[in-house]
Each structure stands twice: as C-alpha cells, then as structure tokens.
C-alpha cells in the first residue's frame, strides 16, 4: 500500500485526550508522515522554551499567537511541499483564563485536506490529565471537560463545513481508524487530482 503525500490533516482533540500517543503510533505505520505540533511552532516563534507556557498567556496574546502559527506553518510547508503533514493542534485552547476557540480564518491558512478529531470518554481524559505529571494544565472538573470536548467537536464541525474538509471522528488510541481516514483522504485527492 502506498503512503499518502502532499496532504495536510488537522488533528484536533482536547488537552489530555491522547493525541500525542496516537500520532506517535500513526507515524510508526506511516513513517514518511510529518507531525508538526502547533504549540511547538508558536513557542519557537516566541522564543519560549516550554510550549506549555503558551496557555498562560492573556487571551489576546493567545489569539495573536495564531498569526505566528500561520507564518511558521507556511514556512515549514514550503520546505516540505510534498509531504503528508499531520498538524497537531487545538480547535479550542484550554487556557488558564478559560476556553478559547480558534477561528476558522486561522484554520483556513493550513488548507486542511481533512480534520481528524480525537475524542475519549471525559472521565478517562480527567484520569489521564491527573496522572500526567509532565504537563501543567488548568484543573478542570468532569463537567468542564465534557463542555470542553463538546465545544472542540463543534468547532471542528464548523471548520469542516466552512472549508469543505471532511471530518473524521476517531476514538483516542484507535490507530486503525485514523490510518483508514488518512488513506480515504489520499484516495479522494488522487481521484480529483
């Protein structure tokens, strides 16, 4: 089976859902795929060593950071124009000040071929967040995580509708469903390209 190329797939999901682990598992099966993390692109542009600090910025600065993300993404894309890029990002940022939705006008700059939205049971996400001592996140209740995930899904649905990019909902850890979605996007692009 050939690996997909020249696609950008936006991979969203709330903080703690397991995107990093899922993406690590995907690239084991699709080694030519590139994983770019929005937080790392922004942190690099802001000269911040720890991308986790980004969520502590004031809301206006978090939204301004999206311009840096666009510039950084576009520069990296020019360097890798034919590669499959899995862009690890958030549709809603869990900032210290609350939930901040990323506008569709930002996402439009990535020209996503598809959106892969990773979900999990909010109780499991709460457990994961509490067990993860490597990252500092705002403390959220189960009800807040349910609302966070609901808003994240709704934002991805909005991006999909506005940008005519197919939306694939996958459960955290479901590598096979993720690979099927990526191949479906590649097959569709091959037929229209």
**Higher pLDDT, residue 193 or 177:** 177
Per residue in 122-158, pLDDT (tens digit) is 999 999 999 998 888 999 999 999 999 999 999 999 9
Domains of the chain: 8-192 (3.40.50.300)
Give how far Cα 103 sits from Cα of 84, 142, 147, 148, 151, Å. Answer: 24, 25, 18, 16, 13
- Tell me the pTM: 0.92
Tell me what pLDDT residue 1 has: 44
Q: Is 24 exposed, middle or buried (0-12, 13-18, 19+ CB in 10 A)?
A: exposed
Rounded Cα distance between 11 and 107, Å, is 11
Question: Starting at the edge strand that comes first in sequence, how are the strands of the sheet with 167-171 ordered?
Answer: 34-37, 85-88, 8-12, 114-119, 167-171
Tell me what pLDDT residue 142 has: 97
Per residue in 14-37, pLDDT (tens digit) is 999 999 999 999 999 999 999 999
Residues ≥6 apart with Cβ < 8 Å to 77: 8, 85
Tell me what pLDDT residue 82 has: 92
Tell me what pLDDT residue 135 has: 86
pLDDT score of 104 more than 90: yes
Tell me what pLDDT residue 134 has: 86
Q: What percent of the chain has pLDDT over 90?
A: 85
Rounded Cα distance between 42 and 65, Å, is 6
Helix (H) or strand (E) holding 75, with range, is helix 59-79
Per residue in 39-48, pLDDT (tens digit) is 999 999 999 9
Helix (H) or strand (E) holding 119, with range, is strand 114-119
């Amino acid at each position: 089976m050939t690996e997909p190329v020249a696609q950008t797939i936006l991979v969203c999901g709330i903080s703690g859902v397991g995107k990093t682990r899922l993406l690590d598992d995907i690239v084991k099966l699709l080694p030519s795929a590139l994983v770019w993390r929005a937080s790392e692109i922004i942190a690099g542009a802001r000269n911040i060593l720890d991308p986790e600090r980004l969520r502590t910025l004031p809301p206006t600065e978090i939204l301004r950071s999206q311009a840096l993300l666009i510039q950084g993404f576009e520069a990296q894309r020019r360097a890798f124009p034919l590669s499959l890029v899995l862009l690890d990002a958030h549709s809603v940022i869990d900032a210290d000040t609350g939930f901040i939705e990323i506008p569709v006008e930002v996402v439009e700059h990535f020209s996503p071929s598809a959106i892969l939205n990773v979900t999990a049971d909010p109780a499991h996400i709460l457990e994961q967040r509490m067990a993860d001592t490597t990252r500092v996140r705002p403390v959220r209740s189960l009800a807040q995580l349910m609302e966070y995930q609901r808003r994240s899904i709704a934002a991805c649905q909005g991006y999909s509708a506005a940008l005519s990019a197919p939306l694939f909902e996958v459960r955290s850890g479901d590598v096979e469903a993720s690979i099927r979605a990526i191949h479906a996007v590649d097959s569709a692009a091959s037929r229209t390209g």
